[in-house]
Amino acid sequence: MANSKRKLPTKPSATEDPTPQKDTPRSSEESRTDVNHKSAKKSFPPLNQFFRDCLGHDLSNFTSLAHFTSWLHRPVDGAALGIFRLLYGAAMLIDIAEERGGGQLDVRFQEPLHCHFPLFNGMRAMAYPLMGCVYLCMWLGAWGIMLGYRFRTSCLAFLIPYWYIFLLDKPTWNNHSYLFGLVGTLLLFTQAESYCSLDSWLNPRKSRCIPYWNYFLIKFQFFVLYMYAGLKKFSLEWLSGYAMSNLSHHWVFAPFRQVIDPELIDLLIVHWFTAFFDVSIAFFMTLEKTRLLVTPFMLSFHLMNSRLFVIGMFPWVCLAEVPLFFSSDWPRRLGNWSKIRLVHPKDPEEELSKPGILARLRTGLILAYCGLQLFLPYSHFITKGYNNWTNGLYGYSWDMMVHSYDTLQTSIQVVDNESRQVHNLNPYAFTEYDRWTKYADMAVQYARCIEENIREKQPDIGKNISIYFDIWCSMNGRFQQRSFDPREDLLRAKWSPFESTSWSLPLLNELNHMRPKLRTIETEVLAWNNYSDVIFVADFPGLTLTNFISPDLINCTLTILEGNVRYRNERDPEAYFLTAGKSIGLESNITHLVTTIGQKPASYLFTYTNKTMLEQGITIEQPEIEERSVLPLWQEFQHRVTNYEQFLGHIGNCLMYLLYDVPIPQAVKGGD
């Protein structure tokens, strides 16, 4: 008895596959889930095979919330996301000095009378030295993101100043600035510091794996970017070829000019191909069968954009995102840093553990975010006050390059209601932006900012004033027309974000049929000589165009295309009624008044010859003769270095003022 030992039951090792006890019943929910999981494979074998071959995933992953949650939370290598984090942080370090305005920090924030256009009227810019600290915090945060050091803290240090600066000035909005903020916010919740980071070096992780939803969110955001950019281009406005003109003359299209006319390049490649590319490229990059085939098109597209447009870091961030569509462990295999590749089961969905409450809640939040991103670009029926010629504020709808503007004239009149004196104000006296000329909400904000500045500088004038804007601009090759009613006092104008703005004049789409004719007329006028030009104008009934013709212009003519107008000038009180097809010569160095009469808008054109250019022999083509480098990479690098030196100098000035009370040099605003 003393030598006999009782044998204890052994615990199965982690490598063994223990048989479940027969007396341990499974829950009805788990049994039902497994039945649905397997029945989805058996019910639709061709469709499931298609999903597996093209997407690399089983259709059953999307048949229930539980399966989808398990699919989102399955472990994958975090290496590819770590490389993207590093490249994104590096791009943001450059972006801060450029599109975030760090190089022009003093111009934007040092002048106390500078007008800002915040999304929320209660927001205010801090004092210039404090704004320097805001930019310093954002800059340090970008460094932390790139290096992967104290990643969550670095993300917050970058994102809070970023969104503050973004929301402070709506005129600076664009789609890629919005994208940068969204991507940074998504990275905050991921484990992007798990690879190629100081955090992973200082505190090595036991596992290389991160949940797949870390990748899913970033890829979904870029998927929406491409798909919606394409959907917004599948409109008559874009496909007609009026949005982008003369791009075919750029050197990147030189190979195409050997076989296609420039006009066809603008239409077929710039407009039609781009629309198809945007709407389809994300799908092709998602499909394993087509991914390698379309990757060269993806890379070429963004490299061409970096040469065609001044859009900052946008092409480079998109290029940094391309590898996310490939295997998550490609950096390890590419550098041969790990000879052992992560081994996944043949059918991982069957071996994933059932998702818990937190995982399901996380999936719900992910789906809510995805739904919000799908809804926002088409939510303009709610925010009607931001709609004018286009729907909503530019910058969050992914309608990139769809609209191009040409502003002909901007005038601001300040009327003293007590003395009835009229003062003409420089439109850009308190801002360097011009997007307020096209959006009613920013026009009201600018008018109120002007009033505050006048009251501060000239209290005797600013007690009881009215402010009127008269702005003429053209969109996508249309007539020059007014964007706001010039009779509306913007200090007393009614505006609400949820109601249509009555004094914001609509786009005259009823004259769209004349755009081909305008091109023909313009070609004929420009063919007269090197000094002739034409301006196309459309106006609303009851409004008067006051046009002073400079003495530098000769052979001026007014021709009516459609509608009826009443014409007179300041020297001749007699009025002339002109109908469609009628013309009249105009004298130089006097003011002419053209009033639209009747019930319909009138359209007309002015032709003229520049006498000064004619006498001096100046040709319009002369600026294009100047030699420029085809690929000015060195010049761009030097410009970026200079801009960064200015940015760091501004930060240093702010810190020296706050720490040692050293005076800050006064910014010198460029001439008008």
Positions annotated as catalytic residues are 233
b/e map of 487-497 (b: 16 or more CB within 10 Å)? Answer: ebebbebebee
Q: What six digits make up the tokens of 572? A: 């001749």
End-to-end CA distance of the chain: 107
Angle between helices 357-375 and 65-72 (to 10 degrees): 90
Q: H/E/C letters for each residue in 302-359?
A: HHHHHHHCCCCCHHHHHHHHHHHHCCCCHHHHHHCCCCCCCCCCCCHHHHCCCCCHHH
Residue type, 54: C
Q: How far apart are CA 462 and CA 448, in angstroms?
A: 11
Q: Considering only CA atoms, which of 146, 125, 100 is closest in space to residue 644?
A: 100
Q: How far apart are CA 335 and CA 323, in angstroms?
A: 15
Q: Give the dihedral sign, CA 523/525/529/535.
A: negative
Find the helix or strand (DSSP H, E) in which 185 lies: helix 175-188
CA angle at 75 for the pair 284 and 88, rounded to the nearest 5°: 60
**Cα atoms in the 13 Å half-sphere on the side-chain side of 18:** 8
**Cβ count within 10 A of residue 151:** 24
474 touches 408 (CB < 8 A): yes
DSSP calls for 527-562: TT-TTEEEEEEEE-TT-EEEEEPPTTEEEEEEEEEE
**DSSP conformational letter for 642:** H
**DSSP conformational letter for 253:** G
Q: How far apart are CA 476 and CA 378, in angstroms?
A: 22
The values of phi and psi at residue 591, to 5°, are: -95, 135
| Length, in residues, of the chain | 672
CA-CA-CA-CA dihedral for 46, 47, 50, 56, to nearest 10: -120
Q: What six digits make up the tokens of 657? A: 């003022």
Q: Considering only CA atoms, which of 345, 363, 366, 346 is closest in space to residue 66?
A: 363
Residue type, 507: L
Tell me if residue 567 falls in helix, strand or coil.
Answer: strand
Residue 245's contacts (CB-CB under 8 Å, 6 or more residues apart) are: 266, 404, 477
Residue type, 533: D
Q: How far apart are CA 420 and CA 404, in angstroms?
A: 38
214 touches 366 (CB < 8 A): no
**Cα atoms in the 13 Å half-sphere on the side-chain side of 34:** 10
Q: How far apart are CA 608 and CA 384, in angstroms?
A: 40
Q: How far apart are CA 289 and CA 244, in angstroms?
A: 33
Q: Considering only CA atoms, which of 572, 406, 532, 421 is closest in space to residue 473?
A: 406
Tell me if residue 287 falls in helix, strand or coil.
Answer: coil
Q: What six digits make up the tokens of 40? A: 């989805």
575 touches 566 (CB < 8 A): yes
